[in-house]
Amino acid sequence: MSDARPIGLMDSGVGGLTVLKETAALLPNEDILYLGDSANMPYGEKTNEEIIKFANQDIAFLESKGVKAIVLACNTVSSLVDHVTARVPLVSIVDAGCAAVLESCNKGKVGLIATTATVRNRTYEKKMAALTSDVQFISHGTKHLAQAINDNIEEKKALVKYIVNAIDPILRQHGISKILLGCTHYPIVKETMESLYPMVHIINPAEMQVKDLIRSLNGAEGLNPQKTKGNIKLYFTGDASNRQSFVDIANILELPYNELKHVTLDAFEKEE
């Protein structure tokens, strides 16, 4: 058996393009639909009720396109995965993040930098506690970093300030040598982080999330049988500046795509 339906990915903006890049690299024959809800970005500063509402809209949009699974390329949404509804499998990046940490170490303290909402919901801590008591997350919510990456990708001085504000508190207080990137925007500046903190192992869970996706599709049985390179379509909400952010980040990531299209999600709002 095989499944030629496309794979869906969603995020609150351009951050999930880092996961899309890994997905396209590991599954080059798959057709992929990516939705970035830039109009409502950043999800990480919203209430849980707002996040769930936006996530359900995103999921409903992708389901309307006939996807076979949805990769939640957003830590904030993944932290509330038990509260959203879907008809297709959802692949959480929180699960992947915990697995990536355990692949790197089996005990000790690991730093977690993430959005305010992700840290507030403590989903990483709960998930890790269910897996082992030997690894402890030291979490720090970063209020502005994702937005700064989205808006000021070429203004290095501004980005460095936000990166230092995110990482320094964890290092000063806890002497941690490993940090998990708990927001998919952050890998865009991973090289800058590594140049600032060469002694710290920066963990990006994107590859692990794609492996989880493959498992959720039952391996080859759920994959596209086509032998040619898959099509990648990008959808975004918002205005012209949001479109330009997609173009800029895709270029920085050297991520090819076939189409970039503006959409609105109001029609996919679910009734209470």
Question: What pLDDT digit, counting tens, does each position of 242-259 carry?
Answer: 899 899 999 999 999 999
**137-192 pLDDT, tens digit each:** 999 998 889 888 877 666 677 789 899 999 999 988 888 999 999 999 999 999 99
**105 is known as an active-site residue:** no
**183-225 pLDDT, tens digit each:** 999 999 999 999 999 999 999 999 999 999 999 987 768 989 8
Does 50 score more than 60 pLDDT?
Answer: yes
Lowest mean pLDDT among 105-114, 119-128, 217-226, 256-265: 217-226
For domain 94-205, the CATH architecture is 3-Layer(aba) Sandwich (3.40)
**98 is known as an active-site residue:** no
Specify whether the CB–CB gap between 227 and 29 falls below 8 A. Answer: yes
- Bridging pattern class, strands 70-72 and 108-114: unpaired
For domain 7-92+208-268, the CATH architecture is 3-Layer(aba) Sandwich (3.40)
Nearest to 245 by CA among 163, 149, 160: 149
**pLDDT at position 14:** 94
Nearest to 137 by CA among 123, 154, 124, 120: 124
Where along the chain do its domains lie? 7-92+208-268, 94-205
Cα dihedral 163, 154, 44, 205, rounded to 10, equals -70
Does 106 score more than 90 pLDDT?
Answer: no
> Average pLDDT for residues 103-126, to the nearest whole number?
94
**pLDDT at position 227:** 92
**Catalytic one among 62, 74, 176, 180?**
74
Cα dihedral 262, 146, 111, 210, rounded to 10, equals 20
**Catalytic one among 183, 189, 193, 217?**
183
- Is-same-fold flag (7-92+208-268; 94-205)? yes
